[in-house]
């Protein structure tokens, strides 16, 4: 009998479970798609150069940790269904059914819907896993063909995780039903969240924000004291003073509010701080922009500090904006008398204001979480593209052997080895070298040997013949220098500084005499990272006769093989080299080896794990936020149903009611989403400004915008699915 009742209730309420099914299906699909990459049955053809186990184990750990967020979502969705059915439970209790039995029936219903979601989610996950495979093979520069694959171990992990989650939540909800009074079940649909504006929590937030403002004010004074100069450009000088002026206003506003005897209440206080936080964030953000544009000597620590100030201002802005949203709307309604009495506008205002006053806290948390999700979506292609671009510039040779003299204090201990152990290894494993060159790097002046401060390391030089040898091996053209000329070679990330540097250094003094700058003052083609001295981004190129008279301090060897070195051989070579050349010898010389196979393997694996983890986290957070937004409206459906019934009795047409529903849901979804988009754009702009040189060197802004546009389209589809599902369910509930 109970089995028939369970299936009948499930069949009758399937539309009520629409959001539940949609949410659980998306969660299952995401879990399966991302976890399928780590399946023991998954064996993509990525070649002998890569070891897939490095990626598989790391990805499984990351996905399982992030998936814990889904427990919160499952609990919230089940809580919605529990509250949605409270009245039904009360009726069943009144007619004599035990509450323990009611709880078990409810658990069985949700479990059936959950199993439907698991089946649908695994089917959708199989499709989504193909996109994961395409993303993986693309990152490993391999071709991709679509194939239907169902991995048994991933299916077991997916079914096991969600079944256990459903059972745990079912136990808690069965217990909750058992302990709930019948009268409380009848009244559950009439309960509202407490009015956020009557909460004293806002004063705690204001106090914390004022403490942060004191920090901003003191920092602004400090920067003016140490870095202000009347010779700076006018916009820079104004920005320095703005970072004192606006924090000062934020500190004075609460004092003025207290002097006025709290006139206007907390709304006036928070409104003033809201406006001030916008100007404070703008002034801090402008300083970040000017730091790169005008080459301000603020340093990375101060840069990060002002980036933190922007973030804190924006967090307070989100909190204050949602706290005041209902007050802003109510004030506008009162001041526009003609507008508010037009048609059904008054009803619409009442719906929105009533909802905002009781759910502002939830909306604030949703907006912050959405902002985090969007920023992660934007940051993921930047970070991964940066890593891949940097990989190309530092793994240009199959074998790079290099040395450092940072801890060598006697010239006789400087490295002069030819690294014959590498030659023997290549011969033993029958690995042919298409290019093999060993060379020195020199100090322009011998007296610079003892310059060891981090930002005072001398720029080293390479002989013209060695430089041309490297350029030819990489497919670049040879260069020429006159007898007393020199030129420079720059890292890609620092190429923008080349012109300013060469203007200030038209000549260089060496132990062989003074050299003048060539008509071609700099070259930017990538030739590897180990050719530069520690903490420097530029390399001098001197004529050979000059280098013969200089002190050699670094000994490097670059090898390009005819075929890629396998992963096993690369690991063995690295182990053998480290046994014979410790990272730091007794005399202070440091040695290292970089193998293209190992660099590409570890970087691509870590890069894919980072990208997958950030995308997965962002989508999970996005799904959580959209689910909560949807259920927030559906939880109060009892009140909405009564209000729309009143409209029908007053003669309002169904078409107009449908328009009101769309407008209400549009505002409800749009307010936190638009706010999150605006805030995330500011944060993303500051972040991109911070790494603009790396983006330009390794990714390209066009490629980055294309990736962000693709992600935006996917998010828009996800938002549309939730909006349409909520609208359909909302209309059905108010039409009952």
**DSSP string for 67-121:** HHHHHHHHHHHHHHHHHHTHHHHHHHHHTT--HHHHHHHHHHHHHHHHHHHHHHH
pLDDT at 464 (0 to 100): 94
Q: What is the model's pLDDT at position 561?
A: 92
Alpha-carbon gap, residue 670 to 352, rounded angstroms? 12
CA gap 324, 316 in Å, rounded: 12
Q: How many CA atoms lie within 13 A of 708 on its CB side?
A: 19
Report whether pLDDT(694) > 80. Answer: no
Q: Write out the two tokens for 728.
A: 């359909």
Residue 136 neighbours by CB under 8 Å, 6+ apart = 37, 44, 55, 608
In the DSSP assignment, the letter for residue 429 is: T
Identify the DSSP state of 584.
B
pLDDT in tens, 189-213: 555 555 555 567 778 888 899 999 9
- Please compute the mean of the pLDDT values over residues 482-499 and round it to a whole number: 80
Q: What distance in Å separates the CA atoms of residue 172 and residue 452, rounded to the nearest whole number?
A: 64
Q: Give the contacts of 286 (CB within 8 A, at least 6 positions apart).
A: 235, 239, 242
The reported pLDDT for the residue numbered 667 is: 82
For residues 131-143, average pLDDT: 74
Closest of 404, 382, 383, 402 to residue 394, by C-alpha: 402
**pLDDT tens-digit map of 52-87:** 666 666 777 777 777 777 777 777 777 767 776 666
The pLDDT assigned to 333 comes to: 66
Phi, psi (5° rounding) for residue 595? -110, 125
Measured CA distances, 30 to 103, 350, 617 (Å): 30, 38, 10
Beta-sheet strand order (sheet of 485-490)? 507-510, 513-523, 485-490, 538-542, 461-463, 433-443, 551-561, 399-404, 590-595
Among 120-124, 142-146, 371-375, 533-537, name the one with the lowest average pLDDT.
142-146
Confidence of residue 230 (pLDDT cuts 50, 70, 90): confident
530 contacts: CB under 8 Å, gap ≥ 6:
394, 400, 402, 556, 592, 594
Q: Which of 392, 432, 403 is nearest to 569 (CA)?
A: 432
pLDDT higher than threshold 80 for residue 544: yes
Task: Report whether pLDDT(108) > 90.
Answer: no
Stretch 693-697: mean pLDDT, rounded?
Answer: 69
| Residue 400 pLDDT greater than 90, yes or no | yes
Distances (CA, A) of 417 to 406, 582, 643: 17, 14, 86
314: β partners = none
Please check whether residue 525 is in contact with residue 476, taking contact to mean a CB–CB distance below 8 angstroms: yes
- Alpha-helix runs per DSSP H in 395-534: 420-428, 464-473, 498-504
- At residue 404, the 3 state secondary structure works out as strand
Residue 338 has pLDDT above 90, yes or no: no
Smallest CA-to-CA distance from 132 within 151, 159, 106 is with 151
Q: Above 90 in pLDDT, residue 517?
A: yes
Q: Which two tokens stand for residue 597?
A: 């196979």
Task: Compute the distance between CA of residue 628 and CA of residue 44 in angstroms, rounded to an integer.
Answer: 38
Nearest 5°: the CA angle 421, 423, 428 is: 95
**pLDDT over 70 (residue 495):** no
Q: Is the pLDDT of residue 554 over 90?
A: yes
Look up residue 450 and give its two tokens: 């003892």
Closest to 439 in 3D by CA, of 456, 415, 411, 474: 415
The HSE-up count of residue 33 (CA atoms within 13 Å, CB side) is 28
Angle at 204 between CA 200 and CA 208, to 5 degrees: 160
C-alpha 190/C-alpha 87 separation (Å) is 11
96 or 32, which is more confident = 32
In the prediction, which pLDDT does 378 show?
Answer: 82
The DSSP line for 405-416 is -TT--SGGGS--
Coil, strand or helix at 449: helix
Residue 463 has pLDDT above 90, yes or no: yes
Mean residue pLDDT across the chain: 80
- Asked whether residue 49 carries a pLDDT value surpassing 60, the answer given is no
With cut-offs at 50, 70 and 90, classify the pLDDT of residue 32.
Answer: confident
Q: Is residue 516 scored above 90 in pLDDT?
A: yes
Tell me the CA end-to-end span of the chain in Å, nearest whole number. Answer: 28
Residue whose pair of structure tokens reads 């930017």 in the numeric block: 524
Residues 474, 376: Cα–Cα separation, whole Å: 36
Residue of 527, 585, 594 lying closest to 405 (CA atoms): 585
> pLDDT digits over 268-296, tens only?
888 888 888 889 988 888 888 787 777 67
Give the closest residue to 604 by CA, choosing from 143, 141, 65: 141
Is 93:182 a contact under the CB 8 Å cutoff?
yes
Dump pLDDT digits (tens) for 634-669: 766 656 677 777 777 777 777 787 778 888 888 888
Tokens 């063909």 belong to residue: 145
Beta-bridge mates of residue 510: 513
Task: Report the pLDDT value the prediction gives residue 232, as an integer from 0 to 100.
Answer: 79
Q: Which of 196, 193, 202 has its CA nearest to residue 326?
A: 196
Q: What is the pLDDT of residue 3?
A: 67
Neighbouring C-beta atoms of residue 634, cutoff 10 Å: 18
Strand 551-561 and strand 590-595: pairing?
unpaired
- Give the Cα separation of 44 and 55 in Å (integer): 12
**328/484 Cα distance (integer angstroms):** 73
523 sits in which H/E element: strand 513-523
Return the DSSP state at 589.
Answer: -
442 pLDDT exceeds 80? yes
**Is 85:176 a contact under the CB 8 Å cutoff?**
no
pLDDT at 440 over 90: yes
Mean pLDDT of 362-389: 82
pLDDT at position 619 is: 84
Percent of the chain surpassing pLDDT 70: 83
- Strand extents, DSSP E, 126-225: none
Please give the DSSP secondary-structure letter assigned to residue 529: S
Question: What's the confidence (pLDDT) of residue 539?
Answer: 94
The DSSP bridge partners found for residue 538 are 490
Backbone angles phi, psi at 722, to 5 degrees: -70, -40
pLDDT of amino acid 100: 74
- Full-model pTM: 0.75
Class of residue 362 by CB neighbours under 10 A (exposed 0-12, middle 13-18, buried 19+):
middle
115 vs 10: CA distance, rounded Å: 12
Tell whether the model's pLDDT for residue 567 goes beyond 80.
Answer: yes
Q: Give the separation between CA 637 and CA 18, rounded to whole angstroms.
A: 15
Q: Residue 480's pLDDT band (boundaries 50, 70, 90)? A: very high
């Amino acid at each position: 009998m109970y089995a028939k009742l369970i299936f009948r209730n499930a069949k009758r309420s399937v539309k009520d479970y629409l959001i539940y099914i949609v949410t659980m299906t998306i969660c299952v699909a995401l879990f399966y798609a991302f976890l399928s990459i780590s399946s023991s049955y998954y064996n993509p053809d990525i070649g002998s150069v890569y070891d897939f186990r490095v990626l598989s184990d790391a990805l499984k750990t990351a996905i399982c940790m992030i998936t814990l967020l889904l427990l919160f979502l499952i609990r919230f969705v089940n809580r919605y269904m529990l509250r949605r059915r409270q009245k039904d439970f009360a009726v069943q209790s009144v007619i004599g059914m035990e509450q323990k039995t009611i709880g078990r029936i409810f658990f069985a219903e949700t479990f059936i819907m959950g199993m439907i979601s698991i089946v649908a989610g695994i089917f959708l996950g199989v499709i989504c896993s193909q996109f994961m495979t395409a993303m993986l093979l693309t990152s490993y520069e391999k071709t991709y063909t679509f194939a239907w694959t169902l991995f048994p171990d991933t299916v077991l992990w997916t079914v096991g995780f969600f079944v256990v989650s459903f059972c745990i939540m079912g136990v808690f909800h069965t217990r909750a039903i058992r302990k709930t009074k019948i009268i409380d079940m009848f009244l559950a649909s009439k309960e509202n969240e407490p009015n956020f504006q009557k909460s004293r929590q806002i004063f705690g937030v204001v106090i914390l924000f004022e403490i942060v403002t004191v920090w901003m004010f003191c920092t602004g004074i400090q920067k003016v004291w140490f870095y202000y100069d009347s010779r700076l450009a006018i916009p820079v000088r104004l920005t320095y003073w703005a970072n004192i002026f606006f924090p000062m206003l934020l500190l004075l506003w609460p004092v003025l509010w207290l002097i006025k005897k709290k006139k206007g209440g907390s709304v006036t206080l928070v409104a003033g701080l809201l406006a001030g936080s916008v100007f404070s964030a703008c002034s801090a953000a402008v300083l970040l922009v000017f730091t790169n544009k005008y080459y301000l000597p603020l340093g990375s620590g101060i840069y990060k500090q002002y980036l933190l100030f922007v973030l804190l201002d924006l967090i307070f802005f989100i909190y204050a904006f949602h706290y005041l949203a209902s007050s802003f709307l109510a004030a506008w309604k009162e001041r526009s008398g003609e507008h508010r009495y037009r048609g059904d506008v008054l009803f619409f205002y009442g719906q929105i204001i009533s909802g905002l006053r009781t759910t502002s806290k939830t909306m604030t948390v949703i907006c912050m979480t959405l902002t985090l999700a969007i920023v992660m979506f934007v940051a993921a292609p930047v970070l991964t593209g940066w890593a891949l671009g940097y990989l190309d510039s530092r793994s240009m040779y199959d074998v790079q052997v290099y040395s450092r003299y940072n801890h060598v204090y006697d010239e006789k201990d400087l490295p002069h080895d030819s690294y014959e152990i590498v030659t023997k290894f290549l011969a033993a494993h029958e690995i042919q070298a298409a290019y093999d060159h060993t060379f020195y790097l020199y100090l322009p002046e011998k007296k610079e040997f003892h310059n060891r401060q981090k930002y005072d390391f001398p720029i080293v030089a390479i002989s013209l013949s060695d430089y041309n040898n490297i350029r030819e091996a990489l497919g670049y053209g040879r260069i020429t220098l006159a007898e007393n000329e020199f030129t420079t070679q720059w890292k890609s990330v620092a190429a923008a500084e080349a012109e300013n540097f060469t203007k200030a250094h038209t000549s260089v003094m060496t132990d062989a005499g003074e050299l003048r700058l060539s008509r071609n003052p700099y070259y930017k083609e990538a030739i590897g990272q180990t050719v530069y001295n520690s903490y420097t981004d530029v390399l001098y190129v001197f004529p050979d006769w000059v280098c013969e008279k200089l002190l050699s301090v670094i000994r490097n060897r670059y090898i390009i093989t005819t075929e890629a070195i396998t992963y096993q051989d690369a690991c063995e070579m690295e182990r053998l080299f480290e046994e014979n050349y410790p990272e730091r010898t007794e005399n202070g010389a440091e040695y290292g080896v970089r193998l293209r196979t190992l660099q590409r393997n570890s970087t691509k694996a870590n890069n894919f794990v980072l990208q997958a983890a950030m995308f997965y986290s962002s989508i999970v957070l996005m799904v959580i936020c959209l689910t909560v937004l949807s259920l927030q409206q559906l939880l109060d459906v009892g009140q909405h149903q009564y209000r729309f019934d009143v409209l029908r009795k007053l003669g309002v047409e169904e078409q107009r009611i449908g328009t009101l529903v769309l407008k209400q849901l549009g505002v409800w979804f749009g307010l936190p989403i638009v706010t999150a988009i605006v805030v995330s754009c500011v944060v993303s702009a500051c972040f991109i400004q911070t790494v603009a040189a790396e983006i330009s060197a390794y990714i390209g802004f066009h490629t980055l915008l294309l990736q962000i546009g693709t992600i935006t389209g996917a998010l828009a589809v996800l938002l549309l699915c939730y909006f349409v599902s909520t609208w359909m369910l909302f209309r059905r509930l108010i039409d009952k």
